[in-house]
Amino acid sequence: MRFEVETTIPTAHGTFRVRAYTDLEHGSEHLALIAGDLRGALPPLVRLHSECLTGEALGSLKCECGPQLQAAMDAVAVSGGVVLYLRGHEGRGIGLVNKLRAYRLQEDGFDTLDANLQLGLPADAREYDGAVAMLRDLGIESVRLLTNNPLKAQALIDHGITVAERVPLEVGVNSVNRDYLRTKAERMGHLLHVDEQDASGHDQ
């Protein structure tokens, strides 16, 4: 992982120091969006956020990625911490075109996991070596991890990063993606409470 440049970007969520990195092994370019002091009394709040063009740029309702990114930036801007924006993770690492192929299979009744498997692809192809390298470059060895996915926490732990706390990020539930989120909870181990929220994402 090679650090490239640091600059400041004002956003609707607050002003962030943004550090850009190049993953020399995979050729991907990643960002660290930093707010506040990373060396406070508590471990910094950290979000490992996978790029999602459809959810973030197009506003797709099939996933919760856009609302998750917005909520993560809001939370980090308030409490201090880092959002690691991980490119090359589209579709849980299978790429944009294959993600759309999986969407097409979902129209035929496959769930999000079985659609990937039907294409001969893993349910989740992401790896987090790059995220660990970025955290270490920032001097972070312990985090409060903003995630519903226990595999992200385990990936950091396996690389020697302490996960002091898992902070839930349950946003973006709607009538279109409810079954998708239920599959993540029931078949992929995500820590979600889909059936406890109404279609607008509010607690019942």
Q: Is 175 annotated as a binding residue?
A: no
Note if 37 is an active site residue.
no
User: pTM of the entire structure?
Assistant: 0.85
Residue 93, Cα to own-chain centre: how many angstroms?
A: 12
Phi, psi of 29 (to 5 degrees): -110, 125
Query: What is the mean pLDDT of the segment spanning 59-84?
Result: 94
pLDDT of residue 133: 96
Active site residue 17: no
56 annotated to a ligand binding site? no
Fold of 2-89+126-196: Rossmann fold (3.40.50)
Using 50, 70 and 90 to split pLDDT, how confident is the model at 91?
confident
Report domain extents, the chain. 2-89+126-196
Is 139 annotated among the ligand-binding residues?
Answer: no
Q: 124, 136, 166, 178: which is the annotated catalytic residue?
A: 124
For residue 18, give both structure tokens: 């943004």
Q: How many residues does this entry show for the chain? A: 204
**Is 201 labeled as ligand-binding?**
no
Q: Is 151 annotated as a binding residue?
A: no
* Average pLDDT, integer, range 131-158: 94
What secondary structure, in 3-state letters, does the chain show? CEEEEEEEEEECCEEEEEEEEECCCCCCEEEEEEECCCCCCCCCEEEEEECCHHHHCCCCCCCCHHHHHHHHHHHHHHHCEEEEEECCCHHHHCCHHHHHHHHHHHHCCCCHHHHHHHCCCCCCCCCCHHHHHHHHHCCCCEEEEECCCHHHHHHHHHCCCEEEEEECCCCCCCCCCHHHHHHHHHHHCCCCCHHHECCCCCEC
Structure confidence at residue 197 as a pLDDT band (50, 70, 90): very low
> 8-53 pLDDT, tens per residue?
999 999 999 999 999 998 889 999 999 998 987 789 999 999 999 9
Average pLDDT value over all residues in the chain: 86
How buried is residue 49: exposed, middle or buried, by Cβ count under 10 Å (0-12/13-18/19+)?
A: buried
**Distance from CA of residue 152 to its chain's centroid?**
9
Q: Annotated catalytic residue: which of 19, 101, 126, 144?
A: 126
60 is in an annotated binding site: no
Mean pLDDT, residues 177-187 = 59
